[in-house]
Amino acid sequence: MSDNHIPEHSTPIKTPKQLIIVVVLAFVVPVLVIVMLAQLVTSGKSSTTDPAAAEEAVAQRLKPAGEVIVAAAGGAQEVRAGKAVYEAICAACHTTGVLNAPKLGDKGAWAKLIAEGQSKLTADAMKGVRQMPPRGGAPDLSDVEFARAVAYMANQAGANWKEPDAPAAAAAAAPATAVAAATPAAAPAAAAAPSNGKGKSVYESSCTACHAAGVAGAPKTGDKAAWAPRLKAGNSALVAAVVKGKGAMPPKGGNMSLSDDDIKAAVDYMVSLVK
């Protein structure tokens, strides 16, 4: 018998705990791999076999970068409520009572007017009363919007008038083709409009009531002779006078919600019309 000793082979597993871990991993790892592969195959199959999902994906890929949306035939401009019209057009005079305008909520000042009745008061105011120009100096105001504003102001002084309903959309609607045809012709006019869009907007909402008709000595819009002496003082002086108020004009034209920048934009706009 030989005395040669055969060396023992060493293994990484040296304790029972290591053996248990290896056995558990031998079962768990293959199971996890099988589950992941099954989920991958299932999700891929569902996305490719679902017709709705496939059509939606194709539509998204073919969707153009820009789209032209044609307004519906009945897409007329929304008719504003009485409160909205008052805040945009009427507040300039009726908030402070400038030019003897009946102040909002003053029951004593509105009592005689309310007694005339809704129809008569609305019709008279629409034509212009005393120092107030027709439609409160906003000629583009619709009959319904103007009547709503009158009803709103009267109701704040104790009346119970109903604001008229908006006209049927079908009556005011125009065919979409007519709108499309009119667009090219309107382009040159838009190009010639003043660039001060903000100033024009402020003027139309807060200044036109007096300056459109020259009420209480206000220089009429576009009247170069009336504006000439004021232009000599410069735009800065004009803006300061409007902010503080001057003569019959209350501070900020009666609309205290306007910022100094809004006032400057409106002054610049009116000045641009007489240069």
DSSP-derived 3-state class of residue 13: coil
Are 203 and 267 contacting, i.e. CB atoms less than 8 angstroms apart? Answer: no
Q: Strand, helix or coil at 112?
A: helix
Winning range, highest mean pLDDT, from 122-131, 154-163, 177-186, 218-227: 154-163
Rounded mean pLDDT of 41-54? 60
Tell me, what's the pLDDT at 53?
61
| Phi and psi at residue 31, to the nearest 5° | -65, -45
The radius of gyration of the chain from alpha carbons, rounded to an integer in Å, stands at: 38
One fold for 82-166 and 194-272: yes
pLDDT at 177 (0 to 100): 44
Amino acid identity, position 242: V
At position 250, the amino acid (one-letter code) is P
What's this model's pTM, rounded to 2 decimal places? 0.46
Assign domain 194-272 one CATH number from 1.10.357.10, 3.40.50.300, 3.40.190.10, 1.10.760.10: 1.10.760.10
Q: Which of 59, 154, 143 is nearest to 107 (CA)?
A: 154
1 pLDDT above the threshold of 60: no
For 61-119, what is each residue's pLDDT tens digit? 565 555 554 444 444 568 889 898 888 888 878 887 777 888 888 898 899 988 989 98
Q: Which two tokens stand for residue 206?
A: 């807060």
CA atoms within 13 A on the CB side of 259: 5
Summary mean pLDDT of the chain: 75
Superfamily of domain 82-166 in the CATH hierarchy: Cytochrome c-like domain (1.10.760.10)
Domains of the chain, residue spans: 82-166, 194-272
Could you identify the residue written with the tokens 């309310």?
114
Among the listed residues 14, 169, 179, the one whose alpha carbon sits nearest the alpha carbon of residue 76: 169
| Displacement of CA 65 from its chain's centroid (Å) | 25
Phi and psi (nearest 5°) for 246? -155, 130
Share of the chain above pLDDT 90, in %: 3
Largest CA distance in the chain: 140
Residue 132's φ and ψ, nearest 5 degrees, are -85, 125
DSSP string, 45-66: HHHHH-HHHHHHHHHHHH--SS
Question: Tens of pLDDT along 237-252?
Answer: 888 888 888 777 778 7
Taking only the tens place, the pLDDT of each residue in 116-152 is 899 888 888 888 877 788 887 777 788 898 889 899 9
How far apart are alpha carbons 94 and 102 in whole angstroms? 6
